[in-house]
Amino acid sequence: MPKNLVIVESPAKAKTIEGYLGKDFVVASSYGHVRDLPKGDNAIDIENNFTPTYEVSSDKKAVIQNLKKLAKAAPEVYLASDDDREGEAIAWHLAQALKLDEKTTQRIVFREITKTAITKAMESPRTIDLDLVDAQQARRVLDRLVGFELSPVLWKKIKYGLSAGRVQSVAVRLVVEREREIDDFKPLISFKVTAQFEINNKTFKAELPKRFKTVEEAQAFLNECNGSDFSIDNLETKPAKKTPAAPFTTSTLQQEASRKLGYSVSQTMTLAQKLYESGKITYMRTDSVNLSQDAVKAASKEISSAYGNDYVQNRTYKNKSAGAQEAHEAIRPTNFGLHSTGADRGATRLYELIWKRAIASQMADAQLEKTTAHIAISNSDHQLVSQGEMIKFEGFLKVYLESTDDDDINGEQSTMLPPLSKGDALQLNELSARESFSRHPARYTEASLVKKLEEMGIGRPSTYAPTISTIQKREYVEKEARDGHVRAYQVVELINNTVTTSTKSENTGAEKNKLFPTDIGMIVTDFLVEHFGVVLDYSFTANVEKDFDEIANGKKEWSQMMDNFYKEFHPLVESTEKLDRKDVSGDRELGKDPETGHTILVRLGKFGPMAQIGTSEELGEDEKPKFASLLKGQKLDKITLEEALKLFELPKSLGKHDDEEVIIAIGRFGPYVKFGSMYVSLDRGEDPMSVELPRAIELIEAKKAADAPIDHYNELPVQKGVGRFGPFIKWNNMFINVNKKYDFDNLTHDDIVQLIEDKKQKEIDKVIHNWEEEGIRVEKARWGRFNIIKGKTKIELAKTVDAKGLSLEDVKELIAKKAPAKKRKAPAKKKKK
C-alpha cells in the first residue's frame, strides 16, 4: 500500500518523526536547502523586477531524484521544514523542484518534535505562505547584490579575496568603532575609601560614598579619621525582591551559554540543534519569550512537585523586540519532568541551562531584606556606609540566577551584616584609600556582540551565529585572549593610628575571548563607511529588517523594496571606479630609511600587515624592496618609523650554542628562534627585539625536553605535549588526545599502550573502504561526513552521499572530477566610448 510522504530538513528529525507517524507514512530528508542562486552575474535579472534564477545544488541532485520518486508514489505529500522564513522558503523550493502544486501541497509546522506536536500539526495542515517566502527571497537577493557588487570593488581597491556583506560589515564596524573608543579612552583617576570594622568578634566592610580626586584629599581625610571614634548613626532595613528572567530566546541563550558555560555562539547553536532534533527542546531559532499555556501548566506541576506550591508564580513575558514573532514560543524543554539529558556532556550542560531558565521563569520572586548602616566619624562630617542583604525566601533562586557581562567587573556581592544597633561603637581595624581608574568600554565578546546587534534591530535569530562565524573566518575580527600590563597605583592606609602612603602595582587590561579588529577589518570598514555609507549605516540595516517583516506580513512588495535600495546603492559602486588605490588601500608612508634614503611604508601583504623599504619608483629593475612582518599588536595606523626600522634588524644572529648558530626571526606565524632544523616559537606577547642568547638557549632546551621521548612502543618513541586542544601524546606521526581520566603528568607505560591501541582501533573503525592497490580509501570525518583520501588529495563528500554504497569506479569518477578551484577574476573596467 502506498505511503504518504513527509519531507523534513534533517535526517535526525526524519527518524524521530517517522516513529511518531506510524506505518502509513515515510519521512524523508531534504538535507537543508535544495536550490540556490547560481554563481556568476546571471543569477538576478535586475531589469526584470530583480527576478532570481535558482538551480538545484550539485550535491542535492541525487536527493531531489529520490524525493521525486517517493512523491510520485505517495497519495499525499507533506512539507515539514522548519517553522520560520528559511523553512518556508525550503518548502517552496521543494515544491518547485518536485513540481508540486504550491496551492494545494500540504504544509505542516511544529515547534517541538514530540508525538503531541506532530499529531497536532498533521491535523491542521496549510498551504505554503508565499509572503514568508518573499521575505526570505528578498533577504537572499539583497545580500547577493551587496556581496556580488561590493566584493570586486574591495579586490581592486584594497586586496584580492576580500568580501563585504550587509550584516557582516555592520558587525565588523561595531568591533572597529569599539576598539577606537578604547584607543582614545583617557581613564579618570579617583581614590576610593574602604574600611574594615569589628564588633563582637565579627568583621564587616564599609565604604565612603564620595570619591576623592587627588591623593592629597585622600590623605587629609584619613588624617581626619586618625584618632576618631566610629559608631552606628542610623540603620535602615527594608524589604526587596528579585524577579526571574524570561525564558531563552536565541540571542539570550547564546549570551548566557557564553557567560555560564564558556560556549561560542556557533557551539551553542550546534548543541541546541541536536537537542531540538532529538525532541528534547523546542525550536532554537526564536525571538519570542512566550510560553504556551500547556508549557506553563507543565512547568507549574514540576515546580509544585519538586519545591512546593509556595514556589509557583505563573508569568507572561512581553517581547522587547518590535519584530518578534509572538505566535512562536521561547526555547524550553519539551518535557519539564526531564531535568537532564543530552548525547554528550556539552549538550547535557546546555539542556540543564535551558531547563533551569524555563522553570525559574514560572517560580516565585526571591524575597530579600536589605540593611544599610550609616557610620558616624567623630572628627569628620563624612559618614561611611555598609550594606548587607539577607534572603528571606529563595523563590526562583533555588534553581537559577541570570549572569551579566559585568559580573567579573562589579565583583563583590552583597553580604550579611552582623547584628547591629543604633549607637553601637565600632572598632576600626583598617581604613584605606586606593587609587582607582575608570574602565574603558568593554570589548565585545561573541555573545555581547549578538546582544548589541539584537538591540539595534540588526539581523534575526537565524543570522546571528553565521554572522559571528563569517567575520572571524574572513579575518576581519579575531577572538583571542591577551595578557595585561603592569600598572602602578597609590594606597593611603590608616593602620594602628598611623597614616602611610605607598605605591603598589597590579596587572590590568587582560582580556579573555574578546573580539579584536584586524588591520584588514579596519581598512575595509573605513573604506565602506566613506564610500558606501548607506550599507554600513546602522539605522538603514535595521530598517531593512523592518522591511523584511512587512514583506512577511504581506504589507510590502519585495521587488519594490529591492528597486528602492538598488537605485541608491548601484551608483555608489560605479563612483568608486575613479578612486586611486593608493588613497584607500591603507598604505601608510612613515618616512625615509636612514641608510638608503628609500621610503619606508607599511601596508597589507599577502600574509598580513608588513613594513616595506623602497618602492618600485625608487628602485631599479634589479633591486627589490625589503619586507618585514609587523609584530602581534602592532597596527598599520599606529606604528612609528622607529618601530618599523627595528623590524628590519631581524633575522639576526644571537651567537652560537653547541657550535650551531642561533637566529631570532619573525615568520608568518610570529617570532621564533631557529637552531639548526629546530624552530621554537616565542611565548605569547614576548618581544623578539629583547631576546638575547641566554633566553634563546632556555627556549631551545625547553623544546628539546618537550620533544624528548617519555617512552617507547613497538620500538618507536612516544612524546608528549600540550597543544591547542589540550594534552596529547605523539607516536608514529599520530597525535593522540589524553583525556582527563589519565594523569597526564604521570603517564604509565600501560596508559600509553592503551591510548595508542584505542587510537589505532578508531583509525581502523573510521575507514569505510580501503583499496590499497589503488592507494585510495574512504573514511569517516567530522559532523557525520565522509572523505575520499588519495595521497595528498582529500575530497569531502556531501552528507547526502551514501559512502558505504560507493564502488571503486564511483570513487575514481569523483576524484577525476576534482579540479583545482579557479580564482574568480574581478570584473574588467568598461572602456569609455
d(CA 134, CA 558): 6
Instruction: Tell me the one-letter amino acid at 441.
Output: P
Instruction: Decide: residue 15, CB within 10 A, 0-12 exposed, 13-18 middle, 19+ buried.
Output: middle
SS3 751: helix
- Phi, psi of 165, deg, nearest 5: -150, 155
Contacts of 241 (CB under 8 A, 6+ apart): 365, 366, 367, 368
Angle at the Cα of 370 from the Cα atoms of 365 and 372, rounded to 5 degrees: 165
How do strand 734-737 and strand 35-36 relate by DSSP bridges? unpaired
How far apart, in whole angstroms, are the C-alpha atoms of residue 107 and residue 123? 11
Task: Report helix, strand or coil for 804.
Answer: helix
Distance between CA atoms of 697 and 674, rounded to whole angstroms?
11
| 247 contacts 317 by C-beta, under 8 angstroms | yes
Show the cell assigned to 350. 546546555
Neighbours of 570 (CB within 10 A): 13
Q: Which three cell numbers stand for residue 662?
A: 642561533
For cell 552575474, name the residue: 41
Give the Cα separation of 107 and 722 in Å (integer): 52
Cα–Cα dist 395/245, whole Å: 13
Report the C-alpha gap between 727 and 825 in whole angstroms: 44
Three-state SS string over 253-300 comes to HHHHHHHHHCCCHHHHHHHHHHHHHCCCECCCCCCCCCCCHHHHHHHH
> CA-to-CA distance for 95 and 770, rounded, in angstroms?
40
- CA–CA distance, 541 with 316 (Å, rounded to integer): 31
Q: Per the residue annotation, which of 283, 311, 444, 476 is the catalytic one?
A: 283
Sheet with 588-592: list strands edge to edge.
588-592, 599-605, 608-613, 626-629
The one-letter amino acid at 407: D
- φ, ψ at 477 (rounded to 5°): -140, 145
Alpha helices in 488-635 (DSSP H): 519-531, 533-536, 538-552, 558-575, 581-584
Closest CA to 586 of 619, 543, 635, 624: 635
For Cα atoms 213, 219, 222, give the angle at the middle one, nearest 5 degrees: 115
User: Nine-digit cell at 569?
Assistant: 546603492
What is the C-alpha end-to-end distance of the chain, expressed in Å?
69
Angstrom distance (rounded) from CA 29 to CA 373: 66
Q: Are strands 786-790 and 776-780 parallel, antiparallel or unpaired?
A: antiparallel
Please, are residues 368 and 241 in contact by the beta-carbon 8 Å criterion? yes
CA distance 333 to 315: 17
* Cα–Cα dist 129/87, whole Å: 11
CA distance 355 to 247: 9
**For the residues of 303-329, what is the DSSP string, one character each?**
HHHHH-GGGB-------SSTT--TTS-
CA distance 284 to 170: 24
Phi and psi at residue 44, to the nearest 5°:
-125, 125
**283 among known catalytic residues:** yes
- Beta-bridge partners for 722: 727
Which of the residues are catalytic? 283
